[in-house]
């Protein structure tokens, strides 16, 4: 049996009684089962995916070769990955435990455990890779299963801790350092993207809240990550960057001071002159006199 390409999201399983499902804000778990003997699927996944084969077998076709994953094994796939896979005909029902991991949860994990990111392997970062299931990782995975049947007032908080524990076990059980390499790439790519965004918009009249939306982050996450990356607030960085650009234009262009003030993003000429002198020790008119 074959299927057309579709997007794999937690919503595919939410509310369907045949799939035990747990949702916790920025991640979710589903126990997926299939009684079909054999079929193929074409998917594009929309969140980071960790999948454990509880019974049955699967082959995933990748540009780098086929991955044959058997019972008791696991794999990790990056968000946005195109997935072409086949469930193989076996005597056992095909059954997996699927973890959908959202951006915000992964960001929090990266911040808390960034010290592991220095252990990158230097190998090419793969979109899909096998995760060895160590005894400790297996124990962590199995400890999640009872939550499908027994839920308490603290289930969500406990499941957050369970997923963080599980990711740490993946790091610990990954001799090839593929998962650490993936985490390292995510950690530094987000910071490169943030700097690129700021260089593009620092002279535009956009608010900090609008910059946060453009970056795909909440306002609080944007401010927190910005301070971690630049060691200062977004507003102060923008002001300093605008002043630096104004200084260059004053020294090298034929624009007058008023034109430069508004071109770099300031709305008030008097305020611009004051903070320019405060930073550099001389008024902007001094540079124009020297140039002329």
Q: Which CATH class is domain 236-291?
A: mainly alpha
The H-or-E segment that residue 268 falls in is: none
CA distance 241 to 115: 30
- In order along its 292 residues, the chain shows pLDDT tens digits of 333 334 444 554 454 555 667 777 778 878 777 665 556 777 777 778 888 888 888 888 876 778 888 888 888 888 777 777 777 656 667 788 888 888 778 878 877 887 766 555 455 567 788 888 889 999 998 898 888 888 888 888 898 999 999 999 888 877 767 777 777 776 666 666 788 888 888 998 888 988 887 776 778 888 988 888 888 999 999 999 999 999 988 888 888 889 999 999 998 989 999 999 999 998 888 876 666 5
Provide the 8-state DSSP code for 119: G
Q: Which of 55, 65, 71, 60 is nearest to 8 (CA)?
A: 60
CA angle 252, 256, 260 (to 5 degrees): 75
Instruction: Specify the domain boundaries for CATH 1.10.10.60 within the chain.
Output: 236-291
Instruction: Specify the domain boundaries for CATH 2.60.120.810 within the chain.
Output: 6-182
pTM, entire model: 0.60
Q: For the chain, first and last CA: distance in Å?
A: 78
Measured N-to-C along each axis, helices 208-215 and 178-201 cross at an angle, to the nearest 10 degrees, of 140
CA distance 38 to 93: 10
Query: Alpha helices of the chain — where are they, by DSSP H?
Result: 103-112, 135-142, 155-172, 178-201, 208-215, 219-230, 234-252, 257-263, 269-280, 284-291
CATH entry 2.60.120.810 includes domain 6-182: yes
């Amino acid at each position: 049996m074959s299927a057309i390409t579709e997007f794999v999201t937690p919503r595919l399983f939410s509310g369907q009684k045949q799939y035990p499902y747990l949702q916790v804000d920025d991640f979710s778990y589903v126990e997926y089962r299939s009684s079909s003997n054999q079929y193929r699927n074409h998917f594009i996944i929309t969140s980071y995916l960790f999948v454990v084969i509880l019974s049955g077998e699967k082959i995933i076709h990748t540009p780098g070769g086929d991955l044959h994953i058997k019972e008791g094994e696991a794999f990790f796939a990056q968000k946005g990955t195109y997935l072409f896979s086949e469930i193989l005909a076996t005597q056992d029902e095909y059954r997996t435990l699927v973890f959908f991991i959202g951006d915000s949860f992964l960001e929090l994990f990266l911040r808390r455990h960034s010290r592991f990111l220095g252990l990158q392997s230097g190998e090419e970062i793969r979109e899909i890779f096998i995760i060895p299931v160590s005894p400790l990782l297996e124990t962590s995975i199995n400890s999640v299963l009872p939550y499908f049947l027994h839920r308490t007032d603290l289930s969500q908080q406990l499941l957050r801790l369970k997923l963080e524990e599980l990711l740490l076990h993946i790091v610990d059980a990954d001799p090839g350092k593929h998962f650490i390499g993936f985490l390292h790439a995510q950690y530094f790519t987000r910071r490169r993207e943030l700097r690129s965004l700021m260089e593009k918009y620092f002279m535009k009249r956009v608010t900090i809240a609008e910059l946060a939306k453009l970056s795909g982050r909440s306002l609080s996450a944007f401010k927190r990550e910005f301070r971690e990356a630049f060691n200062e607030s977004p507003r102060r960085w923008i002001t300093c960057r605008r002043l630096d650009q104004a200084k260059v234009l004053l020294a090298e262009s034929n624009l007058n001071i008023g034109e430069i003030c508004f071109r770099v993003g300031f709305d008030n000429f008097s305020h611009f002159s004051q903070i320019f002198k405060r930073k550099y020790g001389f008024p902007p008119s001094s540079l124009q006199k020297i140039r002329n």
